[in-house]
Amino acid sequence: MIQEFKYAVRGLRRAPGFSAVIIVTLALAIGATTTIYSVVNGVLLRPLRFIVAIAIVLGVALTASLLPAQSAASVDPMEALRQD
């Protein structure tokens, strides 16, 4: 393994222009990937948690509104969620 590493370093020393292009390309690719992931995570994935929470609350409210008035006051939200 060390022999392959030495061979790779030797090859990079022989062609410094090519090495610079490779390093810049890798840096740009890693930066672009990180940026795209951050945007997708912030815009698409994070708001889903809020939307799911709203859906759960609305589901509990709908379940409670469909029950008769006497038992609607004693509905446990966790019990309603377990039934869904």
Higher pLDDT, 2 or 58: 2
Axis-axis angle for helices 16-40, 2-14 (nearest 10): 110
For 14-26, write each residue's pLDDT tens digit. Answer: 988 998 999 999 9
Q: How far is CA 4 from the centre of its chain?
A: 37
Model's pTM, two decimal places? Answer: 0.48
What is the 3-state secondary structure of 18-47? Answer: HHHHHHHHHHHHHHHHHHHHHHHHHHHHHH
For 27-65, write each residue's pLDDT tens digit. Answer: 999 999 999 999 888 877 776 666 777 777 777 777 777
Q: Report residue 66 as tokens.
A: 């469909």
Q: Which amino acid is at 20?
A: A
